[in-house]
């Protein structure tokens, strides 16, 4: 796999605070790569260095073959940025807004009209392209921001919390555009999110950042496997009988009885469940409930950071971040 981003001991220190601590990683071409971490973990600082908004204190990174410090102008041409703060001018239409950005980003004049149409179609805003943005919903504005980040054919698109504050339906739409981008535009996407489900659904690989360092990096399924096994929980009036019937199944890691429940720890619980049900049925063991549980990204996050992301709440996080950014300006 060809890396499109490589970071080498990338570090950012603010006074006595090491916000990003010597991060070295590779992002492959065509990947959707997620950054997860608690508040203040260093995600935005890491992204800001890659986007050439902040200079590293030490270390470096190469994007699309260009060094973020030496060749920052070429890095900027290679990337698109969709950051969280709403930055669209609501007294314009989508088409006018995109036209202005096509000029800013030096999209060749002969290609501008067709490219604008292309990105509008991609985010399904073509029917509303000539309406003023103050008539748009939050989800539509976010879609326009994505379209704008794509105008100049970037090789890498950075999305900071792309669906924060959106309703579930708008979120699903954004997910589907992100998937299409990878397919249609042969693009690499780096996103930060506070939604565990989003990271799980969208990302090929996820890096968990805590206190400025990467504490885990792998595919969502591999990360989940590191934190625990899948479980099948069967309630029955004959738990000991069921335990002895199932005990010989070689795939089972452990099988325990607690009260009226048989608890089976087993990899690939989905695949093994029909066989377990068949044995119980054949031997006449009646079950009052069958429950399948597997570790999710919340368990992974908790395992590696010692914190529950739900406690922080994405909306309050969003507000805090906006306030912080405004106070930095």
Question: Is 7 among the residues that bind ligand ATP (CB under 6 A)?
Answer: no
Angstrom distance (rounded) from CA 90 to CA 87: 9
Question: Is 40 among the residues that bind ligand ATP (CB under 6 A)?
Answer: yes
Q: Out of 4, 5, 19, 199, which residue is the one contacting ligand ATP (CB under 6 A)?
A: 19
Backbone angles phi, psi at 279, to 5 degrees: -60, -45
Helix, strand, coil shares of the chain as percentages rounded to 5?
45, 25, 30
Question: Is 37 among the residues that bind ligand ATP (CB under 6 A)?
Answer: yes
Question: Is 3 among the residues that bind ligand ATP (CB under 6 A)?
Answer: no
Question: Is 14 among the residues that bind ligand ATP (CB under 6 A)?
Answer: yes
Backbone angles phi, psi at 163, to 5 degrees: -120, 15
Question: Is 120 among the residues that bind ligand ATP (CB under 6 A)?
Answer: no
Angstrom distance (rounded) from CA 261 to CA 290: 10
To the nearest whole angstrom, how small is the minimum distance from the Cβ of residue 23 to ligand ATP?
12
Question: Is 39 among the residues that bind ligand ATP (CB under 6 A)?
Answer: yes
Between 14 and 281, name the residue whose CB sits nearer to ligand ATP. 14
DSSP 251-310: T-SEEEEETTEEEEE-TTHHHHHHHHHHHHHHTT--EEEEEEE---HHHHHHHHHSS-HH
Q: Contacts with ligand ATP in 199-238 (CB under 6 A)?
A: none
Q: Out of 44, 52, 193, 305, which residue is the one contacting ligand ATP (CB under 6 A)?
A: 44
Q: Residue 11 belongs to what H/E stretch?
A: strand 3-14
* Cβ–Cβ < 8 Å for 300, 216: yes
Question: Is 305 among the residues that bind ligand ATP (CB under 6 A)?
Answer: no
* Cβ–Cβ < 8 Å for 315, 165: yes
Span between the terminal Cα atoms of the chain, in Å: 39
Task: Give me the numbers of helices (H) and strands (E) for the chain, helices first please.
Answer: 13, 14
Q: Out of 41, 81, 232, 234, which residue is the one contacting ligand ATP (CB under 6 A)?
A: 41
Question: Is 42 among the residues that bind ligand ATP (CB under 6 A)?
Answer: yes
To the nearest whole angstrom, how small is the minimum distance from the Cβ of residue 212 to ligand ATP?
7
Q: Please choose, out of 37-45, 225-233, 240-248, 275-283, the segment that lies near ligand ATP by the rule CB under 6 A.
A: 37-45
To the nearest whole angstrom, how small is the minimum distance from the Cβ of residue 324 to ligand ATP?
7
Q: Which residues bind ligand ATP (CB under 6 A)?
A: 14, 17, 19, 37, 39-45, 317, 321, 328
């Amino acid at each position: 796999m060809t890396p499109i981003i490589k970071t080498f001991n990338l570090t950012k220190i603010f006074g006595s605070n090491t916000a990003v601590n010597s991060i070295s990683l590779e992002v492959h071409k065509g990947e959707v790569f997620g950054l997860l971490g608690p508040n203040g973990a260093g995600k935005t600082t890491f992204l800001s260095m890659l986007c050439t908004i902040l200079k590293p204190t030490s270390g470096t990174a190469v994007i699309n073959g260009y060094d973020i410090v030496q060749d920052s102008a070429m890095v900027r041409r290679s990337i698109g940025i969709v950051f969280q703060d709403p930055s669209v001018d609501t007294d314009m239409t989508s088409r006018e807004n995109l036209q202005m950005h096509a000029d800013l980003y030096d999209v060749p004049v002969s290609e501008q009209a067709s490219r604008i149409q292309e990105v509008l179609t991609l985010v399904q805003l073509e029917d509303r392209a000539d309406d003023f943005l103050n008539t748009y919903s939050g989800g539509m504005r976010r879609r326009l921001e994505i379209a704008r980040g794509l105008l100049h054919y970037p090789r890498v698109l950075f999305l900071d919390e792309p669906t924060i504050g959106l309703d579930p339906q708008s979120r699903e739409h954004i997910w589907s555009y992100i998937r299409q981008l990878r397919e249609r535009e042969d693009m690499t996407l780096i996103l930060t999110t506070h939604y565990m489900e989003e990271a799980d659904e969208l990302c090929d690989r996820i890096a968990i950042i805590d206190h400025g360092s990467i504490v885990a990096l792998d595919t969502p399924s591999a990360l989940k496997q590191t934190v625990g096994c899948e479980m099948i929980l069967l309630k029955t009036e004959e738990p000991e009988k069921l335990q002895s019937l199932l005990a010989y199944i070689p795939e089972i890691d452990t099988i325990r009885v607690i009260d009226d429940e048989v608890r089976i720890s087993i990899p690939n619980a989905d695949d093994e469940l029909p066989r377990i049900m068949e044995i119980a049925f054949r031997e006449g063991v009646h079950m009052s409930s069958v429950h399948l549980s597997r570790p999710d990204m919340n368990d992974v996050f908790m395992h590696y950071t010692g914190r529950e992301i739900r406690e922080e709440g994405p909306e309050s996080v969003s507000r805090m971040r906006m306030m912080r950014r405004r106070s930095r300006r």
